[in-house]
Chains A and B, each alone.
Chain A
Amino acid sequence: MRAVAVAVAVLLAASVASAQTVVQLKPSPPPEPPIGFIFELKMGTLIPRVGDEEGISSNPYETIFGNKSMLFGGAEADFVAWRGYGSVTVGFAAGYAEKYAPAILVTDGPDNGQPSTEKTALIIFPLRIPVAYRFDATWTRWGIPFVPYVKLALLMTPWRVTKGGTTEVVNGLSGSGLKWGYGFTAGVAFILNVLSPQMAKDMVTDTGIRRTYIFAEYNYDKIDDFGKIGLNLSARYFTFGLGFEF
């Protein structure tokens, strides 16, 4: 009888043990800080709409460079000024784009229009002050790793034309200047944190980078001194890049 009682007690103890559920309390993610910074690297290709200038007889960009695009690369730093249902950022972006091609001979002979041994280049340094709204509630509230955003920017674009390595001068007019304009950008970012949450947590701890993302955006830049007739460096183009939010 005593042996039976012991066996029952052991069984009871075992059953109680097996009924226990191990609950691990997962710490909630830290709240979004009220302010932050974003850094982006981007690149793309663009063709300035030089031929859109009123009264111009041909498109000199096409004449010199054909239909080949300028290679563009740039970086943008943004300050997260407001965070609520989404976030608003203000920043500064700088880029560089260039295109080289042979100059064209201008002669009375059969060489007229033929490529010269001299190279000419159009070089632009797009600068912009963008204000952006990012609808990042998709990620912060619903966990959807896609964040759409729009930007409005003031654009300043120093430009320079070279021939034979120096600024080209025609009839005393130097081929360099500064054009102003504005631009709209619409894009979507894919939050890479979703691919490896643990690595994302480690990055927050180790580097302070809260989010890493890749993005694609469409840019509508109107760079014509706000409608003034002159060299038109407006462009519509896509850029792609990598971003980090701190």
Chain B
Amino acid sequence: MPTPLRAGLVLLVVASPALAQSISLNFGGFGAGGTVTSLPFSQQSCLDGNSYIIQWTASGLGGACSDMQIFVTSAQGCPPAGPNTLVTDGGTSADVILETVSTSDLQAGSGQIASKRLRDMPSLGGNCPDGQDFTNAVCAFVMYRPSSTNCDGTVTSSSNLTLHYDAKPPVPPSMNLLAQDSKIVVQLGAEGETLLRYEIQYAEAPAGDAGPVWRQGPNLEAAKTSQSITGLTNGLTYLVRAQSVDVVENVSGYNTPLSATPQTSNGFWGEYKDAGGHDLGGCSTADAAVPSVIGALGVLISLLWRRR
């Protein structure tokens, strides 16, 4: 056999697994190309009956010998043997089958299932419980005929899609305050889960028994760690508190307030002015001296240039 032909055959053999049967899923309408792999939702979203859709893509499934089942499972990842529709004694919930795609529809190569309610995931059982946090996987499964007789080949979706029911409030943030000139720098740190932002409130420390009158401060994106509250009065003590907000807008509740007192400080410029410095800042043209020097320099350069 000629060497190029042999090499081509080897390539085909090596490449054949890559051309094998596969199914991929993505959340429709949440970013192109399956960029969104996790769909977190809140208790409110669950109660409102919000829904989602799944888009599927199949390849190499011309030999499919069963319908494709798209389902949600409480198992860790997609099981290799298809959905489990039985409730086990251990309390594992039965998988929820979202849709069955017939072998003839499978030949189209891609499709989309009808919208499904977010709450229809095994761990929820159709309810929206308080304070719970569940993550379930969305999977697809189909059988195919690897040879001309047996229908014993299985394909499980390769995508790692998850539904995340989050009704558990985050933990309030850790906090540190830095009192500065007319401002307080609030340093915040996440405790536990990934957050969306922090919300900050501040108030003048009350003199008597009256409670503090809280004012909304600037919010802080969770990716950042500090935020300044500006425009404060030096010498006055302020209380500051903050709460965490997670990606589905669950709030932690405010942490224990801390106090800080902004104080006047001098930087170099303040110290210079306090020492009697005369400079007023801004640009100075030094009367006519500068234009004169620049002009003289220009003449010098032109003379040198002409001499060449």
Contact = CB atoms under 8 A, between A and B. Distances in A.
Interface of A: 34-35, 50, 53, 55-61, 63-65, 81-82, 88, 90, 103-107, 111, 116-118, 120-122, 129, 131, 154, 161-164, 168-171, 173-180, 182, 225-226, 228-231
B181 A230 contact: no
B283 to A, nearest CB: 4
Interface residues of B, number: 44
Interface string B273-290: 111111111111111011
A107 B283 contact: no
B6 interface: no
A37 B304 CA distance: 15
B286 A177 contact: no
Given A56-B276, A88-B304, A225-B284, A168 B269 contact: yes
B65 interface: no
A120 B282 contact: no
Given A81-B301, A176-B281, A60 B272 contact: yes
B157 to A, nearest CB: 50
> Which among A120, A168, A180 has the greatest number of chain B C-beta atoms within 10 A?
A168
Given A57-B276, A81-B305, A180-B290, A105 B264 contact: yes
A124 B270 CA distance: 17
A90 B297 CA distance: 9
Given A55-B276, A60-B271, A174-B281, A164 B181 contact: yes
B235 to A, nearest CB: 8
27 contacts: A56-B277, A58-B275, A60-B271, A65-B268, A82-B304, A90-B300, A90-B304, A103-B181, A104-B271, A105-B263, A106-B264, A111-B263, A116-B263, A116-B265, A118-B181, A163-B267, A163-B268, A164-B181, A168-B267, A168-B270, A176-B282, A177-B281, A177-B282, A178-B283, A180-B285, A182-B293, A226-B290
A50 B272 CA distance: 9
Contact of B275 (A60, A107, A171, A180): A60
A111 B261 CA distance: 12
> Which among B266, B268, B276, B278 has the greatest number of chain A C-beta atoms within 10 A?
B268
A171 B273 contact: yes
B267 A53 contact: no
A226 B275 contact: no
B180 A170 contact: no
B275 A56 contact: yes
A116 B181 contact: yes
Nearest to A61: B268
A162 B277 contact: no
Contact of A63 (B185, B271, B283): B271
A118 B265 contact: yes
A117 B271 contact: no
A228 B278 CA distance: 10
B301 A90 contact: yes
